[in-house]
A = this chain, B = another copy of it.
Amino acid sequence: MRKSYETIKFMRQSKYFLKTSKTKPAEDVSINAILLEQGGFVQKVMAGVYTYLPLGWKVLSKIEAIVREEMNKAGGQEVFMPSLQPKENWLATGRWDGLDILFKLKSQHGYEYAMGPTHEEIVTPSAVTIVNSYKDLPLAVYQIQTKFRDEPRAKSGLLRGREFRMKDLYSFHTSSDDLSKYYDEVMVPAYNAIFKRLGLDALFTEASGGTFSKFSHEYQVETESGEDTIYVCEKCAMAKNKEVYEPGAVCTSCGGSQFREAKACEVGNIFKLETKYSTSFNLNYTDNDGKQKSVIMGCYGIGTSRLMGVIVEKFHDEKGIVWPDAVAPFKVHLLALNIDKPEVKAAADALYTSFLDSGMEVLYDDREASAGVKFADSDLIGIPHRIIVSGKTIAQESVEYKARSSEESQLVKIEKILSFLK
């Protein structure tokens, strides 16, 4: 964030593109929809379609930055593929008619497009021009972008949208062994690192694998709003999606045979595509024996906007959201009570400036509103660290500090607050 007159001005809540609401959204009863809409993070434009307001866009950007870092560490090269996709590519894979949630767009000029719900139909022919020899492999490319799905029912806030944000990575290999190695030794640890950084306990879950693999794998977060039913091994917490769970099943990981049923939301999935798409587009390479062979592929998705919804489902209380530090829109919420008093305003302004000077992300509630309104909004928005400035605290040359996740508050000397927060 650049520091300038205008930027400073607009981190003031009185000038922030934000209004909280006491009215619960009419149609959606999921916790993430209620809290994110009432807190001014998102606005529902229509079913399954949201605007991310400044607060919400900050959270989503932080989630996506974490995903991006881990994908780069996993050797992913970032690209950006189009949403408008040629009908022919989808005919080539049989998914023009075979994928029920595909949005089909007709132009006035006679063209037909698919609105990308995923990008195998683009990335596979793209790799044809890049991959010639075994020496060019392995490769991994990814993107973070908007996807479209013609869902019959969009629901549960950010958990199932018609337009949503996603990271999708595609890997290319000379052999199924190399794919397995990348899958197990690079992508599984990368996914674990992402969910750990987000504070989420995402269960590694076996799901149906399609034609080429016995299983694909999902990352499932237990939550009542989830659409999936999973069976969690009582011993090691590896899970099975209902679609592959059979009576008498044994845990693939530890051999355990006791499972408990749970509702869960899928936040990521990884999938061995093998040669399914490379065959459709003649994505071949010349091996070191001089022979032409099909490139082996894997794909790895994470729903970044869905993650935002899941985080709210997991981290909230009866008053509002309790953001984990890693994805909070701001680190500090500075509340000035009775800001009409000149000494309060002066002290709060000075603190605000010193926070900005030290590079801290701070939202400054400089509104002329009651203490009750400010506390309620602050609880709803859920910024992790709250600093209160009032006539009472100033008299003691202090501010009041309270963590959002705690009921305790304490007085901290103004001169010590910066080091206290670090």
Residues of A whose CB lies within 8 Å of any CB of B are 1-2, 4, 6-7, 9-10, 14-19, 21, 43, 45-46, 49-54, 57, 60, 69, 72-75, 77-86, 103, 105-109, 111, 115, 122, 126, 129-130, 132, 135-136, 139, 141, 145-146, 148, 150, 152, 162-163, 186
Contact = CB atoms under 8 A, between A and B. Distances in A.
Contact of A10 (B53, B54, B57, B75): B75
B108 A150 contact: yes
A54 B79 contact: yes
Given A1-B72, A10-B75, A73-B4, A82 B126 contact: no
A51 B150 contact: no
Contacts of A77: 10, 16-17, 54
A98 to B, nearest CB: 14
Nearest to A367: B135
Contact of A78 (B54, B80, B83, B150): B54
A77 B53 CA distance: 9
Given A46-B86, A80-B52, A141 B69 contact: no
B146 A75 contact: no
Contacts of A108: 150, 152
A2 B19 CA distance: 37
Contacts of A2: 69, 72-73
A150 B9 CA distance: 39
Nearest to A70: B2
Given A15-B139, A105-B115, A115-B115, 15 more contacts: A1-B72, A7-B72, A7-B73, A7-B75, A17-B141, A18-B130, A46-B86, A49-B82, A54-B77, A54-B78, A54-B79, A54-B141, A82-B163, A107-B162, A108-B150
B10 A51 contact: no
Contact of A85 (B45, B79, B103, B146): B45
Copies of this polypeptide in the complex:
2
Contacts of A75: 6-7, 9-10
A49 to B, nearest CB: 5
A274 B250 CA distance: 67
Contacts of A14: 135
Contacts of A72: 1-2, 4, 6-7
A93 to B, nearest CB: 15
Contacts of A6: 72-75, 186
B83 A129 contact: no
A410 to B, nearest CB: 33
A150 B107 contact: yes
Contact of A83 (B4, B19, B83, B132): B83
A145 B144 CA distance: 12
Given A2-B73, A105-B105, A57 B84 contact: no
B53 A84 contact: no
Nearest to A14: B135
Contact of A103 (B19, B49, B51, B105): B105
A370 B338 CA distance: 74
A27 to B, nearest CB: 15
A151 to B, nearest CB: 8
